[in-house]
Amino acid sequence: FHNGVSQLHGRVSRNMWHWLYPNVPVDQVPIASITNGVHTGTWLAGDLHGFFDTYLGEGWYDRLDDPDVWQPLYAASDQELWEIHHRLKRELVLFTRQRMDAWYKRNGMPADVSTLLNPEALTIGFARRFATYKRATLIFTDVGRLMSIIDNPDRPVQMVFAGKAHPKDEPGKHFIQQVNWAARHEGLKGKIIFLEEYDMNVARYLVQGVDVWLNNPRRPYEASGTSGMKAALNGVPNFSVLDGWWAEGYNGKNGWAIGEGQEYGNSDEQDHHDVVSLYNTLESKIVPAYYYRDANGVPTEWTRLMKEAIVSCAPAFSMHRQVKEYTEMFYLPAMRASSK
C-alpha cells in the first residue's frame, strides 16, 4: 500500500506517479491518503485537560476521534476558556523573557527584558523547519504595510518565531538571518521575537500560548504539517494557506485562509497574491476579532473561534484517528493478504 499524508498530498502524489500507470485515470493511481494526526496527551496543555474533564465528561480521552465527544465544548464558559488561555499566554511571555535574557547575556548584550512581549497584545506564532517553500519571511515582504498593522497602540500585534534549518540548507539559514534582522529592525524591535534552539519544549509553549498560528507554505508543497493541529487542539486558530492538512481542516469558522487554494505556475505571482491576502485578512478580520470585548471584558467572538478550532480539529486530526485508519485501510488487509 502507498499513501500521502493528507488528502491534497495524495492527489499530488497520484499526479507525480501517474507515469507508472499510463493506462489508468489519474484518480485511480493506487496511492491513497491518510492525513497525519498528533498525540493529544503530548501537546494538550494541562489546564485545558482539566477544562475538558469538566465539560466533556468521563472517558473523553478514550474516544478522542469521536466528533460527538467534543460537542459539549460549544456550551462551555467563554470566560473560563479565555482565562485559561490568558494564563498559558502569560507563561509563554515569561518563558520568552527568560530565554531572551539568557541570549542577551550569552552574547554580551545586557538588556532589560521585563517588558518584552505584551501579554495583552495579539500574539502570532510561527515555528517550524525553515525550508524555503514554507516562506518564513513572507510576512516581511512589505515592512511598511506590516508596521502599519502591528504598530497600532490601540490594537498592537506581535510575533514569535522559532525553528531550525538543515545545516546544509543555505537558503533556509538565510531565512533565519532575515527573521533575526527583522527582530532588530528599529520599527519592529520588540514586536518580532526569534527563539533559538527550537525543540519540543519551545514548541509546547508556543502552540499553547500564542493567539494565532501562522503557516504560509507555497501550495501544494506542504505534505501535511502538524504544528497547526497542535495549536488548534489548544484552542489556537490557524491562519494558513490552504495546503497540507489545513486544506481539509479549514471550515470557514475555525480560523482563516490565506488565498483561496489557488496554485500558480509562477512563484512570484503566487507570493504576491498570498501576501496581499495575508495582510488584508490580518488587518480586516483577525485584529478586529481579537480586540472585540463584551461587557465583561471577554472576547466572545474570539472564544467562539477557539471552541470551533478545538471541536473541528481535535477529533479529526488526532493520532487515535490516524492509527485506526492505517490499521483498517492497510495493516489488516495486508495481514489478511499475506496469510492466504
Say yes or no to pLDDT of 137 above 90.
yes
| Residue 231 pLDDT class (50, 70, 90 cuts) | very high
Please tell me the distance from the alpha carbon of residue 170 to that of residue 160, in angstroms, as a whole number. 22
pTM attached to this predicted model: 0.96
Residue 113, number of CB atoms within 10 A of its CB: 17
Query: Residue 110, preceding bond cis, omega within 30 degrees?
Result: no
- The mean pLDDT of 272-291, rounded to a whole number, is 98
The string of pLDDT tens digits covering residues 7-51 is 999 999 999 999 999 999 999 999 999 999 999 999 999 999 999
Say yes or no to pLDDT of 111 above 90.
no
| Residue 296 pLDDT class (50, 70, 90 cuts) | very high
- The mean pLDDT of 110-115, rounded to a whole number, is 85
Of 115 and 119, the one with more pLDDT: 119
- The mean pLDDT of 314-337, rounded to a whole number, is 97
pLDDT value at position 28?
96
| Residue 339 pLDDT class (50, 70, 90 cuts) | confident
CB 72 within 8 A of CB 328: no
The string of pLDDT tens digits covering residues 60-98 is 999 999 999 999 999 999 999 999 999 999 999 999 999
Say yes or no to pLDDT of 340 above 80.
no
Contacts of 57 (CB under 8 A, 6+ apart): 72
